Amino acid sequence: MTDDGKSLDRRGFLKRATGAAAAAVPAEMHAQDHGHDHQVVPSDPALRTKALESLLVEKGLVDPAALDAIVDTYENKIGPRNGARVVARAWVDSAYKERLCADGGPAIAELGYVGAQGEHMVVVENTPKLHNLVVCTLCSCYPWPVLGLPPVWYKSAPYRSRAVIDPRGVLREFGTELADDVEIRVWDSTAEIRYLVLPERPAGTDKMSEEELAALVTRDSMIGVAKVAAPRGGKP
């Protein structure tokens, strides 16, 4: 977030949510007309949360800078970069990968990534014949310590329902085409268990360092709606 007016801050966005949010979910899902209804306005809980936040700020009971700091922490520090480092370590260290797939929580904690919403982690590995996809059909359970805050589309009703009913179609909407002989497994996150996809390492990355590999890994690839793209020109 910036203070120069170039980017709308979180409260500014929420104040305009009823008008601006109509494009939020389609934009996240690549701005395509998918032929089904999207959840295009904030839910009642989101609006109530905003109203409560505004009241607390006006009464001087909450420091808006502190709220922004918390959001920034989860968006940029406790976020997808953490998960990317976990993936990269697994790609270069077979012993670590074995520990990660056997018991995700302790292995992730080895890299210092622990905290609320990540106490019980299960890591599922993609292979040439198996692709994993993560969803939370009940709400928006998500592994905050390794992926940060969930994207809008992950919390939307269409994704939560269609990921189970038509996972191949959902992947196609994200630009991920899988061969017919590739099995898709859908993992439903709960309040007790959160999932992290270990994507396939792309070809042409044998000489890359762990740091360079981490730069290739995206949030979407760790949810399972995308694959990790090979670097262009041999550089991440």
Residue-wise pLDDT tens digits, 151-184: 889 999 999 999 999 999 999 999 999 999 999 9
Q: How many C-beta neighbours within 10 Å does residue 43 have?
A: 12
- Active-site choice (43, 54, 101, 139): 139
- Assess whether 140 carries a catalytic annotation: yes
- Assess whether 139 carries a catalytic annotation: yes
Q: Which domains does the chain possess?
A: 10-76 (no CATH), 80-223 (3.90.330.10)
- Assess whether 136 carries a catalytic annotation: yes
- Active-site choice (7, 43, 94, 140): 140
- Active-site choice (101, 136, 209, 221): 136
Q: How many C-beta neighbours within 10 Å does residue 195 have?
A: 25
pLDDT tens profile 80-93: 999 999 999 999 99
- Assess whether 141 carries a catalytic annotation: yes
Between CA 55 and CA 8 the distance in angstroms is 20
Mean pLDDT in each 10-residue stretch from start to end of the chain (236 residues)?
Answer: 46 46 43 42 68 86 84 70 97 98 96 84 98 95 91 94 97 97 97 95 96 96 97 66
- Active-site choice (141, 156, 189, 221): 141
Tokens of 219: 């949030």
60's CB contacts (< 8 A; 6+ apart) are none
